[in-house]
Amino acid sequence: MVKEELNPFEIAKQQIERVGKHLKLDPGLLEILKSPQRELSVNFPVRMDDGKIRVFNGYRVQFNGALGPYKGGIRYHPQVNLDEVRALSCWMTWKTSLMGLPYGGSKGGVICDPKKMSKAELERMTRRYTTAISTIIGPEQDIPAPDVYTDGQTMAWIMDTYSMNRGYSVPGVVTGKPLAIGGSKGRDEATSRGVVYTTREAAKKIKLNLKGATVAIMGYGNVGWFAAKIFHDEYGCKIVAVSDSKGGIYSEKGFDPKEVKDHKEKTGSVVGFPGTNKISNEALLELKVDVLVPAALENVITAENASRINAKIVAEGANGPTTPAADEIMHKKGIVDIPDILANGGGVTVSYFEWVQNLQHFFWTLDEVRQKLDQIITTAFNNVWEVREQEKVDMRMAAYIVAVKRVVEAYRLRGIFP
């Protein structure tokens, strides 16, 4: 068997080539769509709590800005690397386009192990990284947001650092901020709400009743936890399995996601929650459930395990959880796989709302945010579904067709400078 490509940037380029072929795009244009426009690599010193100096490596990649300012999160993780950041910035480009937002795509990351750093070290590292990339970020230029192991506090430090250097407060430089300094209501739950809304639409299409439907979620961070809560509290789903980096838990009867969250806060993991059995992350993915939500890292559904995926709907909360070979296998099995750029597009959509509110200095209610999000993501879902039916392609291809076409149209209208 040919070894499957697992480099996320190679996968991202394959996905563009696939849609390029389908749309019969000009080879020059295809080359533009596969190339990151700007890549900044920074090495910067941070004084650690023991007084020693450590040099950290970080990146910011601005993939494509044809539709507007670049937009994309910042990840802190030991496995961050340039190709991963490139891939994530590429996927942001298609995601913002698919959601119909006036943004391009970007992403950033720092190679570090935040779990082994104190809060003070994280603050100093964040402020120095912000300074290192400050020439290319800004509310009109490139607007970061949280990603894996960064949160509202990280965004608050970035906003403050950027503002200190400008001499006035610039809340619109980042999104995902705490409410007290210009965050939007509903941002914390937004990605998960998008996951749930797109699952709701997919369930309607395949006539699956969500009330009582079984749900398994890999990853119990921001995206996984809120998805569990909304599925359970608002749609009456039965959450039967969740997991984190230490392993997973399973109960046929289901459990209350809030109690599991409290357990994780107390013990550091979902594992050991009373009344559940321990299962591995691998086994969780293969459970016979109605809805499976991968909400941790990339490449978890591959050619190796795709044939054993037993869910009716897979809603990709994480970015890049499925490889192209796995896509094909799941499509053949009749699984509705809601691709990442659609399923988790709720996060960037409410980030956009936050940015708009910051620029207007006028804030919306939680109901307004939820309603507008529902409208945008349901429209995006229906656009994708229509293309899927018309062109007889899988959901990811359909989503890419919609997203890439919009960027191509921007190039047609703007032209190639000079």
Burial of 45 (0-12, 13-18, 19+ CB in 10 A): exposed
Among 20, 108, 186, 347, binds ligand NAD (CB under 6 A): 347
- Interstrand relation of 291-294 and 313-315 (parallel, antiparallel or unpaired): parallel
Among 84, 123, 142, 147, binds ligand NAD (CB under 6 A): 147
User: Does the protein bind ligand NAD through residue 317 (CB under 6 A)?
Assistant: yes
Among 87, 98, 285, 297, binds ligand NAD (CB under 6 A): 297
User: Does the protein bind ligand NAD through residue 90 (CB under 6 A)?
Assistant: no
Q: Considering CB under 6 A, how many residues would be counted as binding ligand NAD?
A: 24
From residue 308, give the alpha-carbon distance in Å to each of 42, 110, 352.
42, 35, 37
Q: What is the 3-state secondary structure (H, E, C) of 211-241?
A: CCCEEEEECCCHHHHHHHHHHHHHHCCEEEE
Q: Could you say which DSSP state residue 256 is in?
A: -
User: Does the protein bind ligand NAD through residue 319 (CB under 6 A)?
Assistant: yes
Taking residues 252 to 291 in sequence order and writing x for each that binds ligand NAD by CB under 6 A, - otherwise, the string is: -----------------------------x----------
Among 244, 286, 327, 337, binds ligand NAD (CB under 6 A): 244
User: Does the protein bind ligand NAD through residue 296 (CB under 6 A)?
Assistant: yes
- Residue nearest ligand NAD (C-beta atom): 221
Q: Which is nearer to ligand NAD, 20 or 219 (CB)?
A: 219
Catalytic hit among 34, 71, 95, 107 = 107
Q: Which is nearer to ligand NAD, 250 or 411 (CB)?
A: 250
Residues 150 and 110: beta-carbon distance below 8 Å: no
For tokens 């229906």, name the residue. Answer: 382
Which tokens go with 249? 């838990």
Residues 69 and 104: beta-carbon distance below 8 Å: yes
Helix (H, G, I), strand (E, B) or coil at 385: helix
- For the segment 186-205, give every residue that binds ligand NAD (CB under 6 A): 191
Q: Which is nearer to ligand NAD, 297 or 397 (CB)?
A: 297
Residues 354 and 177: beta-carbon distance below 8 Å: yes
Q: Is 119 a catalytic residue?
A: no
Q: Which is nearer to ligand NAD, 20 or 321 (CB)?
A: 321
Angle among Cα 165, 154, 81 to the nearest 5 degrees reads 100
